[in-house]
Amino acid sequence: MPKKKLIAGNWKMNGSIAANDALVRAVIAGMKDAACQVAVCVPAPYLAQVQMLRHGTALELGAQDVSRHEQGAYTGEWSATMLKEFGVRYAIVGHSERRQYHHESDQDVADKAKAALAHGITPIVCVGETLAEREAGQTELVVKRQLAAVIHTNGHCISEIVVAYEPVWAIGTGKTATPEQAQQVHAVLRAQLHAASTRDDRVPILYGGSMNAANAASLLAQPDIDGGLIGGASLKAPDFLQIIAAAR
């Protein structure tokens, strides 16, 4: 039986105590009949607030990053152990903004995924190409290289991760890969994961990159798209709920 689709919101560096309260309550109220799994990945200062708001509901909690270190002199970072105390189920690793602005390497991302897995947190591993790389015909090469580092470091438990394909040129730009373009890359990643895993579990591959209420249904209808990692639309309860309703 296929796994349920996963719709995960990435709030990025947005939110306030008042806004979070209204948003989470609206999402919980509207997702009661959801056919998919739903999570929100929130800024670290709000983990405790959202943990309390989601308590006893089907809404899962996610973090936007995790340290590859267990503890120590790493000011400004937080470990998987810390996240676990807040009931965190998912942690985004390797988002293009982290790769670009914080110069995270493929190996950094692989190590973060390993740290999350060691504490029972599911890493959402982001991969994706820039516009220049796509125009140069390097899309497949780039995403396979990024995922290969994670597979090499976590091969024995690679079936426990989630992958998110986020073309960098479609993040926050309003541009979106067509369903056919997205499916083509998802199929490449699916084959790479299948070759790496000795288990039959289907690793969820989400699409990110300006998925919204208008295009979600057509993207989610593709055979290898198992959900979405939602940016801006996850900050608006009606839009986020419309995407959740499309994930069947």
Burial of 22 by CB count in 10 Å (0-12 exposed, 13-18 middle, 19+ buried)? Answer: exposed
pLDDT number for residue 171: 78
Q: Which fold has domain 6-246?
A: TIM Barrel (3.20.20)
Residue 1 pLDDT greater than 60, yes or no: no
* 147, 163 contact by CB (below 8 A): yes
**For residue 39, what is the DSSP state?**
E
**Coil, helix or strand at residue 201:** coil
3-state secondary structure of 156: helix
Per-residue pLDDT band at 2 (split at 50, 70, 90): low
Q: What percent of the chain is helix, strand and coil (3-state, nearest 5)?
A: 45, 15, 35
pLDDT for the residue numbered 21: 98
Query: Which pLDDT belongs to residue 198?
Result: 67
- 24 in Cβ contact with 245 (< 8 Å): no
The burial class, CB within 10 Å (0-12 / 13-18 / 19+), for 56 is: exposed
Residue owning tokens 């995407």: 243
What pLDDT is attached to residue 155? Answer: 86
For residue range 150-196, list pLDDT tens digits in order: 999 998 899 999 999 999 988 777 777 899 999 999 999 999 999 99
Is the separation of the CB atoms in 180 and 140 below 8 Å?
no
Pick from 70, 80, 22: nearest CA to 49: 22
Tens-place pLDDT, residues 132-151: 999 999 999 999 999 999 99
Task: Name the nearest CA neighbour of 49 among 27, 71, 21, 76.
Answer: 21
Output the known binding site for substrate.
Answer: 10-12, 172, 210, 231-232
Determine which of 45-49, 103-107, 113-117, 153-157 has the lowest per-residue pLDDT on average: 153-157
Predicted pLDDT at 7: 98
16 pLDDT above the threshold of 80: yes
> pLDDT at residue 41 above 70?
yes
* Active site residue ranges: 95, 166
- Per-residue pLDDT band for 38 (boundaries 50, 70, 90) equals very high
Report the chain's mean pLDDT, rounded to a whole number: 95
Indicate whether 12 pLDDT > 70: yes
Binding residues: 10-12, 172, 210, 231-232
Q: pLDDT over 70 for what percent of the chain?
A: 98
- Looking at residue 173, its pLDDT comes to 77
Nearest partner of 37 among 122, 125, 127, judged by Cα: 122
110 contacts 153 by C-beta, under 8 angstroms: yes
Quick one: average pLDDT of 3-9? 95
Tokens of 179: 């369903």
Residue pLDDT, tens place only, 193-234: 999 986 767 999 999 988 999 999 999 999 999 999 999 999
Residues in a beta bridge with 90: 62, 122
> What HEC string does 64-100 produce?
CCCCCCCCCCCCCCCCHHHHHHCCEEEEEECCHHHHH
